[in-house]
C-alpha cells in the first residue's frame, strides 16, 4: 500500500508538472483527489490493514493527498498569472500611440442661431412656446385675419392634408393658440421658433420647409415704441452694438401698422455695397402692432389690450452672419458644410 501511494504521488506530480492549462489541472485534481480517486480508494481499503499499519498508511495517504493538492494549487496560480500576463500583454495599449480620432459633432448651424436668438429674448423676459406643425385652417389663417378665400393666403400656399388641415405656413398659429388660452385678460410675452412649410420651388433663397421665429407681446398700453425698443435691443445684441436699425412701413394681414426692420450693413458701414445692394441696409425681420381683429378673435378687447408681434427667418440671419449663399445647404446635410460651424 505504501508503494502504491508513493507511485500515485509521483504519477500525479508528473501530470501536474506536465499540465499546461488550468483545465487539465482540474482534471488531475478530480482524477487523483476526487471521490472516485485512487487515494480515496486506498483509504477505503484501510479496513483490510492491521491496526499497526492503519495510522501509518492513513498519515501517508493524507500527506500524499496534501502534497498533490499543494502542487496543483501552486501550478494553478502560476498558470493563472501567466494567463493574466499574456492577456495584459495582448491588451496593452501603447499610450504614446495617437488615439483614434473621435469625430465630435456639434449643433446644426440653424440650431445654434435659433438658440442664440432664444437666449436674447429670454433675457428680455419672453417665454418660449412651441406648437403643432400640422395646423388647422382656423389657427393658421382665420385667427390671423386671413379669412377663407382671402387673396393674401396665396402668398402662403402650403401642403394640405384635408380641407381643414395643412402644414403650417408660419408659427403665428402658436401665438393665436396661446392668446386663446388666456381668455382675454392676461398678458402674453412669448417667442415661437419652429419649422414652417410653403409650397415653393426650392432655390438659393427659398425652401419648401424652413424655420421661423416669431414673437408676440400683448398687454395694456403696448405702443409702437415698445416694439422699436425690443427690436433695437435684439439687433444690437445679435449683430453688434454698433449696428443701427431702421423701420420701414410694410403690410401684414395680422398687424396694423406693419413695418420691416433693417440693420445697417456691416460690410460697407451703410455706404452701399453688393451685400446690401447699394442701400446700406439689410432687411432682417417684419413686425407690427397686433391687428385688432386678431386680438378680438383671441378674446381680447382691442380697446383695453394692445400688442406687438414680429417674425424672422433664422436661415436668413445665419446666411447674413456666416455668408452662406444657398439656403439649401441647411437641409442637404453635407458634413463638409455643417462642420464649418461647429463651435469648437
Ligand atoms: C399673431 C399676431 C401677429 C407675426 C409677424 C412677421 C411680421 C413677418 C416674416 C418673417 C420671415 C415671415 O418667414 S418670413 O418671411 N414674418 O415678417 N410676422 S409680424 O405676427 C403675428 C403673429 C401672431 C397672433
**Percentage of the residues of the chain whose pLDDT score is greater than 90:** 73
Rounded to the nearest angstrom, the distance between the alpha carbon of 286 and the centre of ligand 1 is 6
Q: 175: CA distance to ligand 1 center in Å?
A: 10
Ligand 1 mean position, distance from CA 343 (Å):
30
H or E element, residue 217:
strand 209-219
Helical residues (DSSP H) of 131-207, grouped into ranges? 137-140, 172-180
Check the annotation: does 115 bind a ligand.
Answer: no
Residue 341 confidence (pLDDT): 84
Secondary structure element (H or E) that encloses residue 262, with its range: strand 255-264
* 30/248 Cα distance (integer angstroms): 96
CB 170 within 8 A of CB 176: no
pLDDT digits (tens, 9 = 90+) for 167-213: 999 999 999 999 999 989 999 999 999 999 999 899 999 999 999 99
Contact at 8 Å (CB) between 172 and 311? Answer: yes
Ligand 1 centre from 161 Cα, in Å?
Answer: 23
Q: What is the pLDDT of residue 343?
A: 58
Length reported for the chain? 344
Q: What distance in angstroms lies between residue 123's CA and the mean position of ligand 1's atoms?
A: 21
Averaged pLDDT, 122-146: 97
**How many angstroms separate the CA atoms of 118 and 112, rounded?**
10
29-38, 115-124, 186-195, 278-287: range with lowest mean pLDDT:
29-38
Residue 146 CA to residue 67 CA, distance in Å, equals 99
Show me where the domains of the chain are located: 2-86, 109-341
pTM: 0.74
On the question of pLDDT at 5 being above 60, the answer is: yes
pLDDT of residue 52: 85
Smallest CA separation from ligand 1 atom 23, residue: 172
Selected residue with higher pLDDT from 62 and 232 = 232
Ligand 1 site-directed mutation target among 110, 177, 214, 259, most atoms within 8 Å of CB: 214
Q: Return the C-alpha cell found at 267.
A: 460690410
Which of ligand 1's atoms lies nearest the C-alpha of 288? 19
**Res. 1 pLDDT band, cuts 50 70 90:** confident
Q: Is the pLDDT of residue 344 over 70?
A: no
Q: Ligand 1 site: residues with CB under 6 angstroms?
A: 144, 170, 172, 175-176, 212, 214, 216, 252, 254-255, 285-288, 290, 294, 309-313
Confidence band of 97 (pLDDT split at 50, 70, 90): confident
Q: Pick the residue whose CA is nearest to atom 16 on ligand 1.
A: 311
Rg (alpha carbons) of the chain, rounded to whole number: 42
Q: Which residues contact 321 (CB under 8 A, 6 or more apart)?
A: 113, 239
Check: CB of residue 185 under 8 Å from CB of residue 144.
no
- How far apart (Å, rounded) are the C-alpha atoms in residues 157 and 140? 11
62-93: per-residue pLDDT in tens? 899 999 999 999 999 999 999 888 888 888 88
Task: Enter the CATH code of domain 109-341.
Answer: 3.30.930.10
CA-based torsion, 195, 197, 198, 201: positive or negative: positive
For the cut 60, the answer to whether the pLDDT of residue 218 exceeds it is yes
Reduced DSSP (H G I as helix, E B as strand, rest coil) percent helix, strand, coil of the chain, to 5: 45, 20, 35
pLDDT digits (tens, 9 = 90+) for 294-315: 999 999 999 999 999 999 999 9
CB 191 within 8 Å of CB 183:
no
Amino acid at each position: 500500500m505504501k508503494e502504491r501511494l508513493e507511485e500515485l504521488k509521483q504519477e500525479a506530480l508528473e501530470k501536474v508538472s506536465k499540465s499546461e492549462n488550468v483545465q487539465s489541472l482540474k482534471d488531475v485534481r478530480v482524477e487523483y483527489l476526487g471521490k472516485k480517486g485512487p487515494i480515496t480508494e486506498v483509504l477505503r481499503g484501510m479496513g483490510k490493514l492491521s491496526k499497526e499499519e492503519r495510522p501509518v498508511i492513513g498519515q501517508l495517504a493524507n500527506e500524499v493527498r496534501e502534497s498533490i493538492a499543494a502542487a496543483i494549487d501552486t501550478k494553478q496560480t502560476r498558470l493563472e498569472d501567466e494567463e493574466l500576463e499574456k492577456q495584459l500583454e495582448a491588451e496593452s495599449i501603447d499610450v504614446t500611440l495617437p488615439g483614434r480620432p473621435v469625430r465630435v459633432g456639434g449643433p446644426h448651424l440653424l440650431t445654434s442661431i435659433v438658440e442664440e436668438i432664444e437666449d436674447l429674448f429670454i433675457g428680455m423676459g419672453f417665454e418660449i412656446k412651441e406648437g403643432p406643425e400640422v395646423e388647422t385652417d382656423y389657427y393658421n389663417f382665420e385667427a390671423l385675419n386671413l379669412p377663407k378665400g382671402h387673396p393674401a393666403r396665396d402668398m402662403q400656399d402650403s401642403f394640405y392634408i384635408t380641407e381643414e388641415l395643412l402644414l403650417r405656413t408660419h408659427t403665428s398659429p402658436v401665438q393665436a393658440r396661446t392668446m386663446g388660452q388666456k381668455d382675454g385678460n392676461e398678458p402674453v410675452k412669448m417667442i415661437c421658433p419652429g419649422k414652417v412649410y410653403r409650397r415653393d420651388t426650392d432655390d438659393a433663397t427659398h425652401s419648401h420647409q424652413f424655420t421661423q421665429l416669431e414673437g408676440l407681446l400683448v398687454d395694456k398700453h403696448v405702443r409702437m415704441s415698445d416694439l422699436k425698443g425690443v427690436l433695437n435691443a435684439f439687433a444690437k445684441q445679435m449683430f453688434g452694438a454698433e449696428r443701427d436699425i431702421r423701420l420701414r412701413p410694410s403690410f401684414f394681414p395680422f398687424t396694423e401698422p406693419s413695418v420691416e426692420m433693417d440693420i445697417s450693413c456691416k460690410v460697407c458701414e451703410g455706404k452701399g455695397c453688393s451685400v446690401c445692394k447699394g442701400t446700406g441696409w439689410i432687411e432682417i425681420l417684419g413686425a407690427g402692432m397686433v391687428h385688432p381683429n386678431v386680438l378680438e378673435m383671441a378674446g381680447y378687447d382691442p380697446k383695453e389690450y394692445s400688442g406687438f408681434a414680429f417674425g424672422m427667418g433664422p436661415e436668413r440671419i445665419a446666411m447674413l452672419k456666416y455668408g452662406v449663399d444657398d439656403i439649401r445647404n441647411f437641409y442637404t446635410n453635407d458634413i463638409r458644410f455643417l462642420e464649418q460651424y461647429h463651435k469648437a
